[in-house]
Every structure is written in structure tokens, then in C-alpha cells.
Structure 1
Amino acid sequence: MSQAFEGYERQYCELSANLSKKITSASLLDGEQKKQKIFEVQTRLGDAEALIRKMDLEARSLPPSVKAMLLAKLREYKNDLNNLKSEVKRITSANANQAARDELLESGLQDTMAVSADQRARLLMSTERLNKTGERVRESRKTMLETEELGVSILQDLHQQRQSLLHAHGTLHGVDDNIGRSKKMLTNMSRRMNRNKWMIGTVIAVLIIAILLILYFKLIH
């Protein structure tokens, strides 16, 4: 999660709790004191709106997987801010009579406080769930990066093995060429040896015939 968003979030939660206390205090006052307290609350509501806008801008600048979680949180904070504004409007209404104010103090205000407390409890629960979801997303991203690194390592090993196979193939091709040349040389040598055998045989045969003829003529004479 963005550290900037977390900082704005802490500031808003603290401001929201402070505003809720001030609104409760203002509802119990009368006259100028009440006006001054309401003015302070309205000023601080402007600060709360500014924090909401900052959180919105920060959330929309983050990756989609994180942005979705933060925007869900932001909707809860906007609802909380709207409830605070509604509480301020109720206690500043010029048309409300004393009976309405008494009823607000005795029953309506208590109900509003209960609703606000319930909403804040839900906000805390939602924040905790979103934080857990963010942790799971970070773990999944870490696992994905580790898997990607493993895949790159395997591809590098396969590339090295391919280069080794290509080198071995080239070596075998060269051996095949050498064997082919050696086979041709042996074939030529065998042919020459055969020719030499025939020539030697022919010479021997001619010599034998010549010797026989010489012996024949000597015996006759």
C-alpha cells in the first residue's frame, strides 16, 4: 500500500474522531459558544474534504490491483464524512425549534452517535480486511516474481544446452566429412592395388610363357 495514502488515512481517522466529539459538544451548547464551535467544525470539515481528495488522487495513481482496494476504503470514508456533514446541518438548522433540539439531544443525537460508532467499527473491519487482502496480493506478486526468475533461469539453461547441441552437431558433421574423405582415399588405394595386382600377374604370365618358349626351342634344337 502507498505510504502517502496511509499517512492521509491516519490523519483523516484522527480528524473524524475529533470532529465527532466537537459536533457532540456543539449540540449541547447555546448562543455564541455554539456558533463558534460549529464554525470550528465546518473549518475542520474542509480539512477532512482535502484529505479525502488527496487520498482519491493517490489511490488513482497506483496500479489497478492496489487501486481497487484503496477506492473501496475511500468510499467508506466519504460516507463517514457525509454523515458528519449531516450531523452539522441538523444542529445548525435555523428552523428547528427547541423541542426538536431537545429530542435530538435526548434521542436523535444518541442514535446518531450509535450509528457513527457502528460505521467506524465497520470502517475498521473493512480496513483490516483490505489490509489482509493487500498482504495476500503482495505475497502473490512475490511468488509470481520468483516463478518468473525461475522461468528465466530455465530458459537460459535451455539456451546453453541448445548451443552445446549445435556445437556437437557441427563437430559430428565435420567427423562425417573426414570419414567420407578417408573412405574415398581407401577406395582409390584399393583400386590402385587391384590394378597393380593385374599388372604383376600379367608380367609374371608373360615371363612364364617366354621361359616356356625358350625351353621349347632349346629342346627342339
Structure 2
Amino acid sequence: MSNPLDTDPGSELFASNESDFTLLQAEISQKLETLNDNSVKGEERKALLRNIERSVDEANEILSQMKLELQNIPSNVRSRITPRFRNHQTSLDRTKSLLKKLQSAFDGPYGGRVGSPGLNDSVYTQRDQLLGGTERLERSSGRLRDSHRIAMETEAIGAGILGDLQGQREQLQNTARVLNDSENYVDRSVKTIRGMSRRMATNRIITIAIITLLVLLIIAVIVNKFR
């Protein structure tokens, strides 16, 4: 059976039941081949027929559960899975049709009691119904356990994803804070550089003014000396 977690997200339960259905359908096909080759006679033949009927009922039950689960699958995944489900329906319908033909050939009703029914047939039928009900209950319980296990695994994966997303969110928030602090540092640095530029410009003007004044004083001294 394939791991349901390897399937599309949201279709794990469907995939698990699909695996059960495929295995059961293969078993039914093998039993039908055995029944159809006329190598089985008498009570063994009737018992095999009743066994096939129980398997068909169980396959139909699984298919009904798959149909319900199909409605809960996301639409983008459902569109890819629906054709597979329809193929399973068609396959089971063909199996039912073949089973009815074999029952007609045995001249018995759908319940599988061939020939004139009597007390022995009634006892066999009640026993087979009890065994069939027990088998279906066990398999249904197994599917429920599998469904619960898959649901728990899916929940654990979802919790892990949420935890990862929360961690990424915190990282993004920390990065945003760092970027905001860096932006503040850059703003302060720009303001400091602008202040330094203004002071440098002021100092340059003062220096030029002093040099100009000194030149004028020197010129004045020279002029006074040669008068």
C-alpha cells in the first residue's frame, strides 16, 4: 500500500481507502476467475459465491466512503482525482454484472443459495452472514484506525508547518526591526554628515575672509610705507 502522505495534500484518507479498494477488487477478480472456470463444485462453489458477495458489499462500502471523502478534497486536487474514482465505480459495476451472470448460471438468487433452499442452506447463510459481518466490522475498524492515524500524522505535519511559518514570521519581524534600526542609523549618519559639511563650508568662508583681510592689511602696510 502506498504511503498516503506521498499523495496530494488533502487526499490522504481518499488515497488510503483507494488502496484498500484496489486490493479488494484484485481479490474479487481472482475469486471470480476461480468461480468461472467450473473447477469448484457443490457447497464449496456456493461458499465461494457468498464470499464474493461479501467482498463486493465491502468494496461498495469503501467506494461510498471514498465518494464522501472526495467532497472534502480541495477543488484543484479533486479535479485530478475524480476520474480515478469514476474508473473505480465502473470497475465495480462490471464486477457486479459478472457476479449476477454467474448467479443466474447457478439458477440462484443474489444471496447465493443455489438450488432448492433448505435448512442446511439457511444455516450456512446465517453463518456466512455472521462471518461476513464480522469481517466487514474488522476491516471497517482497520480503516477507521488507518484514517485516525493518517489524520494524526496530517495534523502533526500541519502543526510542524505552522511552527515553521511562525518561526519564519518571527525572523521576518526581527529582520524588519533590524532594517528599521539600520534606517535610523543611516538617517542619523546623513544628518551628521550634512552638519559636518555645513561646518566645513562655514570654516572655509571664515578662512577665505581671514586670508582676504590679511592681504588687504599687507597691501595697506605697503602703500603706507612708500608714501
**Radius of gyration: which is bigger?**
1
TM-score by length of 1: 0.49
What TM-score, normalized to structure 2?
0.48
Larger relative contact order (Cα-Cα within 8 Å, sequence gap ≥ 6): 2
Report which of the two has the higher share of helix: 1
